[in-house]
Amino acid sequence: MPRFARVLCWFRRDLRLSDHAALYHALKSADEVIPVFVFDRDILDALPSDDRRLPFIMACLHELQQALRAHGGELVTAHASAVEALPALAAQWGAEAVFTNRDYEPAAIARDAAVRQQLAAQGVAWFDYKDQVIFECDEVLTQGGKPFSVFTPYKNAWLKKLTPFYLQSYPVERYLPALARLPEQTLPTLDALGFADAAAQPLKITPGISGAQAALADFQRRLTHYQRLRDFPASKGPSYLSPHLRFGTLSIRLLAQLAWAQGDEGAQTWLNELIWREFYQQILWHHPRVAEHAFKPEYDALAFDNDPELFAAWCEGRTGYPIVDAAMRQLAQTGYMHNRLRMIVASFLVKDLLIDWRWGEAHFARLLLDFDLAANNGGWQWAASTGCDAQPYFRIFNPVSQSEKFDAEGKFIRRYVPELAALDNKAIHAPWLAKRLPEDFRLGRDYPKPIVDHATQRQRALALFGRD
């Protein structure tokens, strides 16, 4: 590695100082390091003004800025296309190289190639590093040197390859004196970027490095019980760390190390979820076509009904199936949805409403705070039976039995569908089947009747997949 006088470290999905691969290498390789963040117009201009991810990102950046200042550094930002911004920033600050962590999404790969080309034309070097995954790209392959397309063999190979080496943190702290001393920079306001103020839509998950650390400390106390509680949306079972993983306020190495070291049933189950995350990342990297197409090409031409009125009812949480409606309202109100519920509503959209999984995938992409292309696409294709390692076509979630099993007392339903609060614990799962409803409650007036019949639609779904 050559020695540089001054370099840029481009922050993206890694909004922290600790255990940061690119920052570590930049600090070791240069006399001065300038951290930069680009509000990329190629991404932001397509988003609605009330997108809740921008307040989250902005709060993370404010904390990152304060953390840098505590060590004598400063965060420089730009609001432009990244392909234009990075060469301009390098020229403005006299940087000889740009350091960053790799991103595996097709659009990000194309963007980085374009940035790298522009920088090279200016004589500016480019260095990128693995940071958001334990194993990337071709690091976990079959014995034949091919990418895995089934999860369990991938998981087994992943675990076999894992050693303490891959979980080591980067000791960034000892090199922080190399941060460049710059005039104080001001972060742009959300309004200046074209987005609504965060106060208008308070975040349910605390952002930033401090929010990540607090959430992790809380989860560590619950990790042992993760396997037992994770499927019940009314319980505090999940980690709630997915937004922090998505924006990199926590290191994946730290999380994997905690799970691996603890080793009990809860920790092993959670580590399994972290491996699923990497499985979908490598699927997307090896098969970028899945971003728009079914992993199994024969399912690209499925003749979905794609009824826009049924889709609107699903989006708005008025399908007449309480567990589905509660989940969809949770998403709309908070930007979060419990993982079990993601599977239930996805199965319902594709197998009950016979709507293309890509419609649901796009809806989640618009609303999820923790939206990640690889995980979102992988989850949707799994539920739709169009992906790798897919749920078999004939396994169709029954929304009533799922509700009775995972929200037996209706606590979650009552939280998000309050108009059903007075129904008893049996009726709340399927009001249309109830022998008795509250006197002042009328189905079809106070709450919708089911928009489809599950048994009928199940048979239609089987026929759609050519398996009736």
| The pLDDT value given to residue 392 | 74
pLDDT tens digits along 295-338: 988 889 899 999 999 999 999 999 999 999 999 999 999 999 99
Q: How confident is the model at residue 422 (pLDDT cuts 50, 70, 90)?
A: very high
Check if 4-131 and 297-464 are the same fold.
Answer: no
**What is the rounded distance in angstroms from the CA atom of residue 191 to the CA atom of residue 276?**
37
Per-residue pLDDT, 280: 96
Yes or no: say if 253 and 168 are a contact pair by the CB < 8 Å rule: yes
- Confidence at residue 199, expressed as pLDDT on a 0 to 100 scale: 55
pTM for this entry:
0.94
Instruction: Specify the 3-state DSSP secondary structure of 288.
Output: helix
Sheet arrangement for strand 125-129: 76-80, 30-40, 4-11, 97-101, 125-129
Q: Is the pLDDT of residue 142 over 90?
A: yes
pLDDT of 196 reads 85
Residues 6 or more apart from 33 whose CB is under 8 A from it?
6, 7, 8, 9, 23, 26, 27, 73, 99, 178, 179, 180
- The residue ranges of every structural domain in the chain are 4-131, 133-167+209-286, 297-464
Architecture of domain 4-131: 3-Layer(aba) Sandwich (3.40)
Distance (Å, whole) CA 317 – CA 399: 14
Domain 297-464 has CATH 3.40.50.150: no
Q: Which CATH architecture has domain 133-167+209-286?
A: Alpha Horseshoe (1.25)
Q: What is the pLDDT of residue 111?
A: 98
Convert the pLDDT of each residue in 326-339 to its tens digit: 999 999 999 999 99
